[in-house]
Structure 1
Amino acid sequence: MGIAASLAEICAVYPTAGGVYYWSAMLSTPKYRPIASWITGWLTLVGNWTVTLSIAFSTGQLFLSGVSIFQEDFVANTWQTVLMFWGVMAMCTGVNVFFSKHLNLLNTICMIWTAAAVIIIMVVLLATARHRNTAEYVFAHYDPTASGYPSGWSFFVGLLQAAYTLTGYGMVASLCEEVQNPEKEVPKAMVLSVFMAGLTGVAYLVPLLFVLPEVKAILSVANGQPIGMIFTTVTGSKAGGMGLLILVLVVALFAGTGALTAASRCTFAFARDGAIPGSRYWSQYNYKLNVPLNGLLLSSAICCLLGLIYFGSTAAFQSFVGVATICLSTSYGFPILVNILNRRVAVKNSSFSLGKFGYAINIATVTWIILSVVLFCMPVSIPVTAAGMNYASVVFMGFAGISVVWYAVRGRKTFNGPEEVVIDGESRSIDEEAGREKSRQ
């Protein structure tokens, strides 16, 4: 919530769909503007790629968990998992390529389907469950022994999944060019999105915890996706378990398609500014299909290649989630840090001002992001093996290395950051808008 509020305060001053990429440039001095937007842009780009990767990979695992509902001795091997993941990526890519004109309709259907799925799943589980846990178990039971970490550290490492599900609030800035009074409405939406996501999560998880089977049985599920087993056990029916799993699978496919859409647009925009190797090719737009086809295919290919990590680590999904959360969180933290270093001058007249608590909230936010980078690179459990290692740090540093090398080779000579920004429906240069804001201060 602190990160969302800090970004909302900045968004109220610079209501642009470019989000953190543009805010970092706007808040920086002309000298450091290119490097600030370069760092933020790469973090956002890799974050979008790995969000798509993590959603598609988990969806592939969900498909395979459906097989184990009817064949209890079925355990998917590494190749089967990777091939299923590639199949999901192919579906999401196909929808983006051939149905790009209908993406808004698909998003509407997704929202309706998701809301209906949550209600149906909760009603069915509560109605069919023969076993119910006590309120004490649901709200007070805490068992960190499975991780092997000390109790407190285990709690913080376990925050990864919650942090991952709440990383989308920065993307709300994309609405700035589509709503009236974006300097007021979008910051509110940014903060409310976190609140509503948390509320929805609690509404989904609490009933599920009341009917949850034995934790040992859940942890023993071979493919790491126990939701199918939970549905089958609680309903007492394989058909019922599969029916509920299908509801989740459709939601996951919608989410994967939407994530790839965002990743391809991010790739296209960043390539257009000359920040990616081969930018001239990746920034081409296919007007016949009405889609940035090359950027879309690049995003899909990178996700497919990163999926090969699963051959070396069965905890690959944890790595993908970790990289996505780290990259997006740090991309959000960068403009907040620049704002602090500038003594919050740019936001002193913000319509969504944090007031006298601004410094405290901003500093706490940046501190948490720094801590989370360490936390979310930690293995799921100890002792650590090569197969159980969390390779989030390896992926993160790999992309960081590519970014640094490309900046040294070409970026420092040609990259100037975003050239234009659209605010209040008017296209302005970054320097022009920065000058206007400085005069208002």
Structure 2
Amino acid sequence: MSLSPHNADRNASVTSGRHKSVSQEPVTSVLPGGDIPYDPSREWNADEEVLAALGYKPEFKREFSLFTTFCVSFAVLGLLPSFASTLYYGMGYAGTAGMTWGWIVAMVGIQCVAMSMAELCSSMPTSGGLYYASAVLAPGGWGPLAAWLTGWSNWMVQITGAPSVNYGTAAMILAAASIRNPDYVPTDYQTFLLTTFLMIIHGFMSSMPTRWLAKTNSVGSIFNFIALVVVIILIPAGTDRVARGLTKFTPSSEVWGDIYPGTDFPAGVSVLMSFIGVIWTMSGYDSPFHLSEECSNANIASPRAIVLTSATGGIFGWFLQLVVAYTVVDIGAALDSDLGQPFAAYLMQCMPQKTVEAILSLTIIAGFFMGQGCMIAASRVTFAYARDDCFPLSKYWKKVNPITQTPVNAVWFNCIIGIALDLLVLGGPLVAGALFSIGAIAAFVAFTIPIFIKVFFTRGNFRAGPWNLGRFSLPCGTVACAFVALMVPILCLPAVTGSDLDAASMNWTCLVYGGPMLTILIWWFVDAHKWFKGPKVNVDHLMLGQGENTLEGKGDDSSENATEIPGGSKDKGALA
């Protein structure tokens, strides 16, 4: 609508006041470069100004700091429980060689992905993060499709995070019970029930106010870090290999040189396949991106938290890999143990029982906090996508609870789907392993689509935020894309080939991830392309420099009143 004289006067005051046009903000926005986000009822602070310039009105309290954001991210990373849960793949596919120098190789690619993502986060600090970036940076006309694929792939990462973590935690709890009572053998049904119980507890915890969540995850992250350091020290100090007639540590020539024949593929391919453990363990560093709307100084603190999480996790994760690689006695026995949990079985090979119980206890508690952190991050992603009407019944999932000021409906929506996914546990460890494979491959696909677009297709429509890589942006992004292009097909390979390959030994990642993604792609071409236009602006904005002054957007968050602006268009999708 056209502005009245009163509105024109108001427009002048806005231009001269705190409110700046989008072209003056360090963001890459879906709004045209001359627009000024406007809300007559409030005066925005710096963080709210940045978010408004991206097209969204503030809806959360900004009670996360750099430290507390890092705490949630590190809790989601959960090095100790993540390592314990994925030891079947990390050690089982290539043995100690894959755990030692293989971890270093993988971390080069992962760190490049993390730094490239952090650069995007600084430029677009929204809960929808990766999805928003794909929409804005894609070439003209391709923004909605890029956002659609990125969003759904990222949502699959988030939705499988808490179920897979809680499955690993439940398996460790039951393995600990089996160690205490050797006559007890855990069943798949019991593992499923315990996993469901953990999911429900985390659902209640994740529905609390932001301040409570920040404090709880700070405690959880500190405990995770302390437990990790204690275990790294305790394993080499407490090993009783000598009492069992072995050397205190395995010789380095064996640790670094012997590749366990865990697959039917050549040794090099087996090492690459073992990266699933590294990738899944290190996949939580995107959490600060999704929490950026609840973080103060978000376009600096959130990217710093991403890089800090990835770097800290990479270094300490490697130390953990080393102590296990130098003390493991029999890889095959650890993988096939009746305990049903390779990490617990490994500990029983080289540690006194009381020490094993102590390490498992630390790992279980760390895993509990990790599961809760995963559910928090997932709920923010679901909220962000529902805000743009990506889901059926989005109007329910995008509601912010007026008491807690958190997306409680999104929490329980994710919780119910997560419990349904945990039914895979009833198919046994190999089938349940699809949860971990999905998390690894879906994360890489979602993380890399906007990075790939930025590196190879962006032509002047990316505005770097205050945290950026400068001249290293292009080479870092190129390495990240090359690493992902290599790993995606590797993660889909089965461990066995030929006549030995059957339903029980099949890698179900292609079906469990590829099936839903194929359905989503078909949905796009059949129907979704008609109504999904990418990020949906819900903030008022004064249209300046467009020939006439107009006001677009509405104050409420209903889909009927929000302004849809397709990502990737030359005049609407990006800044000059």
* TM-score of the two chains, using structure 2 as the length reference: 0.68
Question: Match for residue 278 of structure 2?
Answer: 162
Q: Is the aligned partner of 1:403 residue 2:520?
A: yes
Cα gap change, 1:76 to 1:349, in 2 (>3 Å) = closer
Whether the 8 Å contact between 2:424 and 2:432 is mirrored in structure 1 is: no
Cα deviation code 1:138-181 (max 9, x no counterpart): 64232231223211111111110101111222333246456676
Unpaired runs of 5+ residues, structure 2, are 1-110, 242-247, 540-552, 554-562
Question: Match for residue 387 of structure 1?
Answer: 504
Cα gap change, 1:228 to 1:136, in 2 (>3 Å) = same
Question: Match for residue 383 of structure 2?
Answer: 268
Question: Match for residue 337 of structure 1?
Answer: 452
C-alpha separation in 1, matches of 2:397 and 2:420:
18
Q: CA deviation at 1:380?
A: 3.7
Whether the 8 Å contact between 1:8 and 1:187 is mirrored in structure 2 is: yes
Q: SS at the partner of 1:417? A: coil
CA RMSD of superposed structures (Å): 3.1
Q: CA deviation at 1:359?
A: 4.1
C-alpha separation in 1, matches of 2:344 and 2:396:
42
C-alpha separation in 1, matches of 2:199 and 2:414:
10
Question: Match for residue 310 of structure 1?
Answer: 425
Q: CA deviation at 1:255?
A: 0.6
Cα gap change, 1:288 to 1:313, in 2 (>3 Å) = same
Question: Match for residue 425 of structure 1?
Answer: none
**Residue of structure 2 aligned with 1:231, choices 336, 347, 363:** 347
Q: SS at the partner of 1:379? A: coil
Q: Is the aligned partner of 1:146 residue 2:256?
A: no
Whether the 8 Å contact between 2:126 and 2:290 is mirrored in structure 1 is: yes
Q: CA deviation at 1:122?
A: 3.1
C-alpha separation in 1, matches of 2:387 and 2:375:
18
Question: Match for residue 412 of structure 1?
Answer: 529
Question: Match for residue 440 of structure 2?
Answer: 325
Whether the 8 Å contact between 1:54 and 1:320 is mirrored in structure 2 is: yes
Structure in which a larger fraction of residues adopt helix: 1
Q: CA deviation at 1:432?
A: 12
Question: Match for residue 214 of structure 2?
Answer: 104
Q: CA deviation at 1:344?
A: 5.3
Unpaired runs of 5+ residues, structure 1, are 423-427
Q: CA deviation at 1:92?
A: 1.6
**Residues 172-321 of structure 1 correspond to what in structure 2 (within 5 A)?**
172-174=288-290, 176-177=292-293, 182-222=298-338, 224-237=340-353, 239-288=354-403, 290-321=405-436
C-alpha separation in 2, matches of 1:175 and 1:35:
24
Match of 1:150, as an amino acid? P
Q: CA deviation at 1:74?
A: 3.2
Question: Match for residue 63 of structure 2?
Answer: none
Instruction: Tell me the matched-pair count.
Output: 435
C-alpha separation in 2, matches of 1:224 and 1:381:
21
C-alpha separation in 2, matches of 1:129 and 1:364:
39
Cα deviation code 1:89-122 (max 9, x no counterpart): 1222232246776221211111221122123223
C-alpha separation in 2, matches of 1:177 and 1:282:
17
Match of 1:274, as an amino acid? D
**Residue of structure 2 aligned with 1:66, choices 164, 172, 176:** 176
Identical columns (%): 25
Cα gap change, 1:242 to 1:344, in 2 (>3 Å) = farther
Match of 2:181, as an amino acid? Q
Of residues 134-143 and 154-163 in structure 1, the stretch that sits farther from structure 2 once superposed is 134-143
C-alpha separation in 1, matches of 2:207 and 2:464:
43
Match of 1:212, as an amino acid? V
Question: Match for residue 250 of structure 2?
Answer: 134
C-alpha separation in 2, matches of 1:176 and 1:100:
13
Q: CA deviation at 1:77?
A: 2.3
**Residues 35-54 of structure 1 correspond to what in structure 2 (within 5 A)?**
35-54=145-164
* TM-score of the two chains, using structure 1 as the length reference: 0.87
Cα gap change, 1:177 to 1:297, in 2 (>3 Å) = closer
Cα gap change, 1:183 to 1:288, in 2 (>3 Å) = closer
Q: SS at the partner of 1:270? A: helix
**Residue of structure 2 aligned with 1:26, choices 121, 136, 151:** 136
Whether the 8 Å contact between 2:159 and 2:414 is mirrored in structure 1 is: yes
Cα deviation code 1:3-37 (max 9, x no counterpart): 12322333344344532111112212563222222
Q: CA deviation at 1:299?
A: 1.0
Q: CA deviation at 1:277?
A: 1.9
Cα gap change, 1:190 to 1:293, in 2 (>3 Å) = closer
Whether the 8 Å contact between 2:273 and 2:491 is mirrored in structure 1 is: yes
Match of 1:118, as an amino acid? L
Cα gap change, 1:381 to 1:92, in 2 (>3 Å) = farther
Q: Is the aligned partner of 1:83 residue 2:198?
A: no
Rg larger in 1 or in 2?
Answer: 2
Q: SS at the partner of 2:259? A: coil
